[in-house]
Amino acid sequence: MADVATRAPASQPAGATTDPEPNETLYIQNLNENVKLSVLKQSLEALFSTYGKVLSVVAHTNLRMRGQAFVSFKSRDVAAKAMREVNGFPLYGKAMRITFARSKSDSVVRYLAGADGESALEAHKRARLAEKPLKRRRNILREREMQRKRKAAEAGVPVESVEPKSGSLARVQANQLPDEYLPPNKILFLQQIPSTTTRDDLQKLFGAYPNLLEVRTIPGRSDIAFVEYNDIPSGVQAREATNGYAMPNGERLKVSYARA
């Protein structure tokens, strides 16, 4: 059964409080839309589980929710600590923006209710369904689209079908490519890193090649990291030199270009 929480408000009237009240669910924006959803959710769970038990990670593929996710904890204190420390962390090349969600997720409602979890969840869902039509009517983007269609109908102009933009199609195709066929990038994605390897070890290895900008590791995931150079030629040189590099334990480092 899908877990649901409400997003933080995009905007509010002047003078109104813009920050949602602290709760157990975090709302995450600016996620890399080109990363496979299952991989993204796995990475989020690994990252946030270093702060406490993660009850759920929810992300969707529909256009309205792309690049967004919800992560729920058992405690709002844990959620607050995770938000303070992870907000702005670059996951797959994009800095996450994190706020509290406007409402509790289904998993939090069920957990906090204990033995009455299922009945509390049903009541929570009924209340959400009752509020949904009101939210839909308040949706500004939906209203603008409705106005556009009404004007087109009044003018006798057929409403055009929405075709994927060429850029969007290119991103989908790039996401389906095997790692070895990805186009050159100044950001490298490292895999198969031995658990004993430190950030300093990676810094030393990739610092041997010119124009290194930074090495980014992911908390809770010692087997993957990102390395960024100042320009694409430097990234190409480093990737060619280090892909398949024999680590001290004999394992081969896998280095590919990050997905654009």
Could you give the angle at which helices 37-48 and 76-86 cross, rounded to 10 degrees? Answer: 110
Catalogue all structural domains in the chain, each as residue range(s) with its CATH number.
25-112 (3.30.70.330), 179-257 (3.30.70.330)
Label residue 135 by pLDDT band (50, 70, 90): low
Mean pLDDT of 208-214: 94
In the chain, % of residues over pLDDT 90 = 36
Q: What is the DSSP string of 133-181?
A: HHHHHH-HHHHHHHHHHHHHHHTTPPPPP-PPPHHHHHHHHHHHS-GGG
pLDDT of residue 168: 47
Q: Angle 195-47-73 (CA atoms, 0-180°, nearest 5)?
A: 140
Q: Which two tokens stand for residue 49?
A: 């589980």
242 vs 104: which has the higher pLDDT: 242
- Range of weakest confidence among 43-47, 77-81, 158-162: 158-162
Residues whose CB is less than 8 angstroms from the CB of residue 154 and which lie 6 or more positions away in sequence, other chains included: none
Sign of CA dihedral 41, 91, 75, 127: negative
User: How far, in Å, are 10, 64, 66, 153 from residue 146 at the CA level?
Assistant: 20, 16, 22, 11
One-letter identity of residue 12: Q
Structure-token pair, residue 2: 């899908």
Looking at the chain, the whole-number percentage of residues with pLDDT higher than 70 is 75
Residue 212 pLDDT greater than 60, yes or no = yes
60-76 pLDDT tens trace: 877 778 889 999 999 99
Say if residue 260's pLDDT is above 50: yes
Tokens 């769970």 -> residue: 45
pLDDT band at 157 (very low <50, low <70, confident <90, very high): low
With CA atoms as reference, report the closest residue to 190 among 231, 249, 239: 239
Which phi and psi (to 5°) does residue 83 adopt? -65, -45
CA atoms within 13 A of residue 25's CA, in its CB half-sphere: 25
Give the mean model confidence (pLDDT) for residues 79-101.
Answer: 90
Q: Is the confidence at residue 153, as pLDDT, over 70? A: yes
Q: Distance between CA 109 and CA 147 in Å, rounded?
A: 37
Higher-confidence residue of 112 and 9: namely 112
Buried b / exposed e along 199-235 (16+ C-beta atoms within 10 A): eeebeebbeebeebeebbbbeeebebbbbbbeeeebb
The reported pLDDT for the residue numbered 244 is: 92
